[in-house]
Amino acid sequence: MIDDTHETRLAVELFRLGARLQVTRAETTLPRERLIRLYKESHGESPPKGRLPASTDWYVTWLPNIHASLYYALYEFAAQQSGVSRITATMTAYRLYLEHLSDHAAPVLSFTRAWMLVNFVEHGVLHRVTCAQCHGRFVARAHAFDRNYVCGLCRPPARTGKTARAATSAGHRV
């Protein structure tokens, strides 16, 4: 019998963080049926159907962009630790993200979105640019006009009001 204890543990951990079934299919070699069973054990219900959102649009809208940028800074930090695999860094950074937000704002970035963000950056679909005003690094489209980029914290949309201030207190700690 193949020893898949490690993969089972990984899948359970991923589901606990809120991963969709597709994430565990990509990160483990466990059979689909097995993963569905593990999902049901974690959540008490069947995994949602449907594909993962393939578009990068979400990441460049105002509030998601601030959360995605914060997450990616934490991911980079986690990934720097020696001998850490990409998936471990992705999970560590997500826990840090939740901790970081706990007193300030509700999480906007789901684990699955975080995992996809790491993939998007790795494949060059998204990258990070430095804000010309605050010098923070923010997630942007790979072909965005980078020079004189101004982030969503330095230039919040007019009608965000309270949400803007809440996100600002979290985002400035990137």
Residues binding Zn ion: number (CB under 5 A): 5
Task: Name which position in 36, 60, 96, 154 contacts Zn ion (CB under 5 A).
Answer: 154
Round to whole Å and give the CA distance between 36 and 25. Answer: 10
Alpha helices in 18-122 (DSSP H): 21-27, 32-43, 62-80, 86-101, 111-122
Q: Are 153 and 130 in contact (CB under 8 A)?
A: no
* 131 is a contact residue toward Zn ion (CB under 5 A): yes
Name the residue with tokens 């105002």.
62
* 151 is a contact residue toward Zn ion (CB under 5 A): yes
Query: CB of residue 75 vs Zn ion: minimum separation in angstroms?
Result: 19
Q: Which is nearer to Zn ion, 14 or 131 (CB)?
A: 131
* 46 is a contact residue toward Zn ion (CB under 5 A): no
Residues at the contact surface with Zn ion, assessed by CB under 5 A: 131, 133-134, 151, 154
